[in-house]
Structure 1
Amino acid sequence: LCCRACYVCIHMLCVHCVKVLDVGNSLVMPGIVDCHVHVNEPGRTSWEGYWTATRAAAAGGVTTIVDMPLNSIPPTTSLENFQEKLQSASGRCFVDTAFWGGVIPGNQLELRPMVQAGVAGFKCFLIHSGVDEFPHVRDSDLHTAMRQLQGSGSVLLFHAEKEIQQPLLYSLPFSSDPCEYSTFLRSRPDVMELEAIRTVTELCLQYQVRCHIVHLSSAQSLELIRTARKAGAPLTVETTHHYLTLSAEDIPSGATQFKCCPPIRSIANQEQLWSALSAGDIDMVVSDHSPCTPNLKHLDSGDFTQAWGGISSLQFGLPLFWTSACKRGFSFPDVVRVLCKKPAQLCRLDNQKGSLLPGHDADLVIWDPEREFVVKEENIHHKNKLTPYLGVTLHGEVKGTIVRGKLVYFNGSFSPQPLGEQLLINHNVAQTAL
């Protein structure tokens, strides 16, 4: 799964010669597969774009990203929009890139054509997505989509929060200061996630379509997930680096760079997520890289209720995870499992990504798990530098990234040209590979 190079060279074969890269006493591991990335191109390239996002990915040891169907304009909710997305990404990716489609009300007849065109699967929201061009679905839309996806081998991803009638607890006289993180946290209680996941598990069991819960934040939903899986639901679950690293108790007033949806919860909740990850109840860890321009974070007012909900972390997923995981007894094979292998399986890419196996792509990350570094603005490669990790010391510096045998990043320098490819998923072939 991974090895210490121990002064053994990595050999990269090309047509005309053998290139030798001596990486010293570094750890060599399969390239990371980050299956939850908002690139936002076309349409919102002031937020992010393929050139900057995939350079950040390469600098973080990520060799494959899967781009979410929002917040680009147009969203990837039709075959025509998917083709526009592919055109926008063409020749601009430093790492390999696959694409999610989206399920919105009324687009059910677009789903099969998008599967045939190579999307990795689909994402939907059970609550307002934050952008009007990607409306959330209702129960009737979900049943229609599930019937379309039956037998396709595809997967439906859920942003699992539902609007609910707030219980009495949340109408009691707490502080309503919008600059206090607790005000925002109370507006998105655990029960919103719990009720949404209840809906997901029922649909998953009824239709036997693969379902996936994105960015699980609340440990209260874990028992429901375990029960559904025991009953035969083909259900997978991810959490993110920010839920495993950050805690509500440590978020200062007005620090809107910490806002995301679902929200960052308590330290006690975080420890339960770590336990669930260790037990296999949570399958994988991803970035949910969701950047925006600094003005949308409303740092001047510090108003959590108005700020954009998203955290930028694509470049730092591996060290963020390792900094905390190594203190909890996680091993290097565990890192490979949750950052590489499981995300590749979700996207039907595990016949070529996520493992060091004969016949797989030569995707590698070279890193030093013992080396510390400080996250500084000048070293961040995604377009907008605002992140809650500025000034944080992390363990595990990425030295180099190799995509399909080609060096795309090494010691702070990138390949002169983007070398990433677009990955179109053949669900029939991939399904037999599982």
Structure 2
Amino acid sequence: MKRILYVTGKIPDNNILNDGGDSTVAEFIEALGNQNDLDLLLIRSDVDTIGAVPNVKHIIKIKKDMLCKDNYGKKQASKYEKWINSGEIIAKTIREIESDYDVIIMQHIMCILGLAREDEKILRKTLLLPMFTGQFYIKAGEYVPPIYIQKEKQALSIIKYILSPSMIEKSVLMKEYNVAEKRIVVIPRPIKFPYIHRSRCNKKCTRLLYIGSVRAQKNHIGAICMMNNLIRLNRNIKLLCCGAIQEHSIFESCQKKIHEYGLEEHIEFCGNQSAKALEQIINLCDINISVSNCETFGRGIYEGMAAGLPTVILSRLGHARQSCGISAAPIAATDYADMAQIINTLICDDDAFSNESQKGEILQKELSSRVIFKKMQSTVDSIFDFNE
């Protein structure tokens, strides 16, 4: 048993899932909390509203909007400048308490921006989950100041251990940040929703599902454009978009585009959902999609697919077809028109629909919590000599 400090700005509560980051911290607590003494260092402006967390011994709170939760999507350059300052505050806090811990897990690269080579005692027991580096924010459509990328490169040059969910993130870390391959371990995220084999059953209305917070990265405008293509092929279609509205300007643009295309009866934004509610929505749907600009893993892709929903993505998310340890892949479309055609074919072809649904059974074996949690624990054991 070791003493672990988990540093995050995310809420480890399955009743409040704003994005994949919330799910990630909850999973690590479940995977490591039972066998170790685990404390949380929480960095949020609303941290006083958070009570006890199962499998967590103590919660250390920094009441500050370090993740820019209160103005997500606004003044993006200022957001990154704030993250640099936040990294300094986190580093100062960890220097004061690091001697109490054997392992420090940092969720988001921002958390390590204040560390220096002189912090050797901290560095040798730190495991980084990058989550989303500046290069991915650029791919998502945001402006990232050069100083932020420079700070990331400096921090990544001294960090010793990195845990990544995908080969695409590993590749970016190696090519864009010059991180040595030996410092990166790849373990995909676990999936909890149960598999159900799906069939068309001559439904009058086909429901599509898109899981993702409303922000630039997820490209909901693209989903609306795809629906405008699909509705010309089949009018008995409805798209359910599940995820927190993190950028209200983008949500407003979506509403305007829906009105422009006359799709009010065909597209619904369901908002933020608990894990239980999301599972219920998944079971109401027939086909899962993603038109995201970029993903480091693509949790929503695999959540729907593992539940048995035939899944169609854009080819720019091709890494979802080549993830480490995952042998089942979604269908890749070249553009919105091609995606619409593929979806219409699935609706009309019972055999094709059934075959795609069966891929979920494969994912259940490869991404089960039991399998992934065991990999998480064994990875931490091997890196930090837990068994000594």
What's the TM-score, normalizing by structure 2? Answer: 0.35
Q: Which has the higher helix share?
A: 2
* Larger relative contact order, structure 1 or 2 (CA cutoff 8 Å, min sep 6): 1
